[in-house]
Amino acid sequence: MHIKKQRLLTPGPTPLLPKALHAMMASDVHHRTQDFQKIYRQVLGDLKEVFGTKNDVLPLVSSGSGAMEASISNLFRRGDKVIVCTAGKFGERWVAMTKAFGLNAVVLEEPYGSAVPAQRVADALAANPDARGVFVQASETSTGSSHDVKGMAEAVGKTDAIFIIDAITGLGTMPLDIDGWGLDVVIGGSQKAFMIPPGLGFLSISAKAMEFTKTCDLPHFYFDLKKELKSAQNGESSWTPAVSLIISLGEALKYIKELGMNKLIDNAQLLAKATRAAATEMGLELFSPGSPAASVTAVKSPQGMDSGVIVKGFRNEFGMIIANGQGSMKGQIFRIAHLGYFDFADLFSVVGALELVLNANGYAVPYGKGVAAVQNVYAEAAFPKVTVGA
């Protein structure tokens, strides 16, 4: 009733880091000056540090999908055979994109809520020794499922193929040892765990993948990784950069470095664990119980309740924006995000609100039951030696 603060609690755009938001006000700087070069160089260095790689990490003025496209249009040849894993809406985007560029996609599909096993990738590579690339989502945002990136990397690493990971919601929510595991292209987006508004895509690229640029014959101009890499070496971007977003990103990267990327990942994983505990305690079913992602938890709506009713209840009663299912999952699931600037206080609010919305719509759950599950997970992690009153 009455005051309802608008709270953006979706798996992207995610809650904005206030300092990063406010920093955008200092955008009155020209992008071809030493002042901006200094900022840009710092961002390039911090991106590498936060990605945890010696590979170059290139920011692109695009959404994450733009960076996904760049990884195809800059590296492959028309008709190249590639292996594409799909178990959700974003896997389907890899399929559609590789096909749009005339690649020969061998599609490894699993049902929504599942993950493609690493062994299937190994088998597909064995069956298709001419495959030049493997595509996957680290975290499939549409289902709240995660893939075994490390296991897949082991299989790909034994071949001449390159491994391209959409880590748009994977970065900052799960360990991704780019150099150690040999992840050739890792893709991120600004409006995810990076805590700033949409408009920037990121892409780390290995030496092995850079070799592919030499033989690539697919048309591209705006997304030109060779050109972008050369510009980056001069502390510049190829085209006009999104100045406000780069400046904002600088603040966010500073925060993430202070926090520690590992802590950011732990944070998402602990929130996801607490959310799963709360859902189970409330008698709700998880949509991806076998391979749950830490970026977002997908929960099945109770029998007979359209999940849109829950999403609407959150918005109307509490001003909270949470995500419905996408595509055929719409109405079946709702999704609670954990990636980026989320904390336990947010989760107390979300679960407290969920209990009220469920009861108001005919699904009976005692007040405080899910919240207590969240508190227990917090207490186990923060106060392991404290005995709690019961």
| 156 or 253: CB nearest a second copy | 253
Cβ neighbours, 10 Å, residue 112: 23
Using the contact rule CB under 8 A, the part of the chain among 119-127, 130-138, 230-238, 313-321 near a second copy is 313-321
Does position 264 interact with a second copy (CB under 8 A)? The reply is: yes
| 270 or 286: CB nearest a second copy | 270
Does position 257 interact with a second copy (CB under 8 A)? The reply is: no
| 88 or 302: CB nearest a second copy | 302
Which residue among 100, 127, 207, 360 contacts a second copy (CB under 8 A)? 360
Does position 383 interact with a second copy (CB under 8 A)? The reply is: yes
Which residue among 214, 303, 304, 386 contacts a second copy (CB under 8 A)? 386
- Spatial neighbors of 118 by CB under 8 A, at least 6 apart, are 147, 148, 150, 151, 152, 154, 155
d(CA 64, CA 166): 8
Residue 59 tokens read as: 């920011």
Residue 358 tokens read as: 């469920």
Does position 355 interact with a second copy (CB under 8 A)? The reply is: yes
Per the DSSP assignment, residues forming a β-bridge with 296 are 337
| 207 or 379: CB nearest a second copy | 379
Phi, psi of 107 (to 5 degrees): -95, 125
Put residue 308 in one of left, alpha, beta given phi > 0 → left and psi -120 to 50 → alpha.
alpha
- In 289-318, which positions are buried (b, 16+ CB within 10 angstroms) versus exposed (e)? eebbbbbbbbbbbbeebebebbbebbbeeb
| 218 or 372: CB nearest a second copy | 372
CB 138 → a second copy: shortest distance, Å? 20
Which residue among 134, 176, 209, 270 contacts a second copy (CB under 8 A)? 270
CB 255 → a second copy: shortest distance, Å? 9
CA dist 100 → 72, 75, 134, 163 (Å): 10, 14, 16, 19
Using the contact rule CB under 8 A, the part of the chain among 70-78, 99-107, 123-131, 366-374 near a second copy is 366-374
Which residue among 40, 202, 319, 331 contacts a second copy (CB under 8 A)? 319
Per the DSSP assignment, residues forming a β-bridge with 166 are 137, 187
Residues 323, 95, 328, 12, Cα dihedral to 10°: 0
Q: Between residue 41 and residue 80, which ones bind a second copy under the rule CB under 8 A?
A: none
Binding mask 233-252 for a second copy (x = CB under 8 A): --------------------
Contact 372, 348 (CB under 8 A): no
- Spatial neighbors of 308 by CB under 8 A, at least 6 apart, are 324, 330, 331
Which residue among 317, 324, 328, 330 contacts a second copy (CB under 8 A)? 317
Using the contact rule CB under 8 A, the part of the chain among 3-11, 69-77, 155-163, 235-243 near a second copy is 3-11
- Spatial neighbors of 232 by CB under 8 A, at least 6 apart, are 44, 56, 58
CB 350 → a second copy: shortest distance, Å? 8
Instruction: Tell me which residues touch a second copy (CB under 8 A).
Output: 1-7, 18, 25, 259, 263-264, 266-267, 270, 317-320, 341-346, 348-349, 351-353, 355-356, 359-360, 363-372, 374-376, 378-379, 381-383, 386-390
